Homo-oligomer: A and B are copies of this chain.
Amino acid sequence: MNIAIYGYGNLGRGVECAIRQNPDMALVGVFTRRDPATVTTLFETPVYAAADILNYKDQIDVLIICGGSATDLPNMTPTLAEHFNVIDSYDTHATIPAHFANTDKAATAGGHVALISCGWDPGMFSLNRLYASAILPEGKDYTFWGRGVSQGHSDAIRRIPGVIDARQYTVPIEESLEAVRSGSMPTLTTRQKHLRECYVVVADGADKTAIEQQIKTMPNYFADYDTTVTFITQEELNRDHGGIPHGGFVIRTGTTGVDNAHTHTIEYSLKLDSNPEFTASVLVAYARAVCRLAKRGTVGCKTVFDIAPADLSPLSPDELRATML
């Protein structure tokens, strides 16, 4: 299986690492919109100009698109799906249907397979919501995120005048997790589900009280949450908050039996040292499935919901049944 990476940030580097863990895959190269001469890859993977990618059509079985959801993927994925089998990690939940429709049209026209919104949420969390709700129709599910770094919330703090750098952690509230696990199916407000912890570096002489107030009252980002603000030095931020951990929980409880007398709890959780590297690992496993679908003549846009689990594994169906079932 010949894989290529389109876009080389944290996610692209994660894909480069993940491919090395899968002996049935080879990495053709990295395609970048920057000047290829300025890009150094982790493992001497060749770097090519994004503009030249159509010259490599015959060498690439699946193209893993590692762009951002806000501005890159909505155009990139449909455009590339006309020429390649592609996979992306588009994660703006509200606009997935539109992204699906655009990508499906392009992939179908080009005779290719596209898989969108693959990662952990959307991705593995979505799968667990689907499986659990199909098994326990009379129930309720909850998704909690964290403890982990939210890039969007960190950026929002950085835009405040006087702030030099910031890191924001989303933290699930333990008492709410326990209430959910108990099967009581509580109604939880935004504030009851997550805390927001902010570590902020400010310029000399900045008004810390005003900045703290600005953060805590910021609409959408912080106003609906209990938020803590801790001022630290750039040195401390680099030393203690340099990683990109994340994770979370999908929990569904439901009832079965005569008079719904029995309660069941299904819980799926992730604890990730590196958000982009884990997302990259999911993308690479699903790239295997995309390659297999394309070989069977499938065309159009798919999501993780459409992929049979066996297609993710390098093992044969016989091996899977003998060792994992």
A residues within 8 Å of B by Cβ? 14, 17-18, 21-22, 42, 93, 96-97, 100, 117, 122, 124, 126-131, 133-138, 181, 256-258, 261-274, 277-278, 280-282, 285, 288, 303-310, 312-314, 317-318, 320-322, 324-325
Assess whether A131 is in contact with B138, with CB atoms less than 8 Å apart.
no
Assess whether B267 is in contact with A312, with CB atoms less than 8 Å apart.
no
The 8 closest A-B pairs by CB, nearest first: A262-B273, A134-B312, A305-B310, A262-B274, A256-B277, A265-B271, A134-B285, A21-B137
Assess whether B14 is in contact with A324, with CB atoms less than 8 Å apart.
no
Q: Which of A21, A135, A313 has the most CB of B within 10 A?
A: A135
Contacts of A96 in B (CB 8 A): 321-322, 325
Query: In the complex, what distance in Å separates the CA atom of A31 from the CA atom of B300?
Result: 43
Assess whether B135 is in contact with A281, with CB atoms less than 8 Å apart.
yes
Assess whether B131 is in contact with A321, with CB atoms less than 8 Å apart.
no
Assess whether B306 is in contact with A317, with CB atoms less than 8 Å apart.
yes
Q: Which of A137, A257, A267, A313 has the most CB of B within 10 A?
A: A257
* Contacts A130-B313, A272-B264, A309-B127; A117 near B325 (Cβ below 8 A): yes
* Contacts A21-B137, A318-B97; A256 near B268 (Cβ below 8 A): no
Query: In the complex, what distance in Å separates the CA atom of A125 from the CA atom of B314?
Result: 19
Contacts of A22 in B (CB 8 A): 137
Looking at chain A's contact residues, the main secondary structure is: helix
Q: List 13 A-B contacts (CB under 8 A).
A: A100-B321, A117-B325, A122-B325, A128-B268, A133-B313, A134-B313, A137-B314, A181-B271, A256-B277, A262-B273, A306-B310, A307-B308, A308-B308
A86 to chain B, nearest CB (A): 17
Assess whether A130 is in contact with B310, with CB atoms less than 8 Å apart.
yes
Residue of B nearest to A21 (CB): B137
Contacts of A266 in B (CB 8 A): 124, 269-270
Query: In the complex, what distance in Å separates the CA atom of A58 from the CA atom of B322?
Result: 35
Query: In the complex, what distance in Å separates the CA atom of A310 from the CA atom of B258?
Result: 28
Assess whether B306 is in contact with A278, with CB atoms less than 8 Å apart.
no
A158 to chain B, nearest CB (A): 24
Assess whether B309 is in contact with A17, with CB atoms less than 8 Å apart.
no
Q: Name the contact of A136 in the complex, choosing from B133, B136, B281, B313 (C-beta under 8 A).
A: B281
Query: In the complex, what distance in Å separates the CA atom of A308 from the CA atom of B324?
Result: 17
Contacts of A324 in B (CB 8 A): 126, 129-130, 133, 305
Residue of B nearest to A310 (CB): B305
Query: In the complex, what distance in Å separates the CA atom of A270 from the CA atom of B265?
Result: 6
Assess whether A256 is in contact with B306, with CB atoms less than 8 Å apart.
no
Query: In the complex, what distance in Å separates the CA atom of A306 from the CA atom of B280?
Result: 24
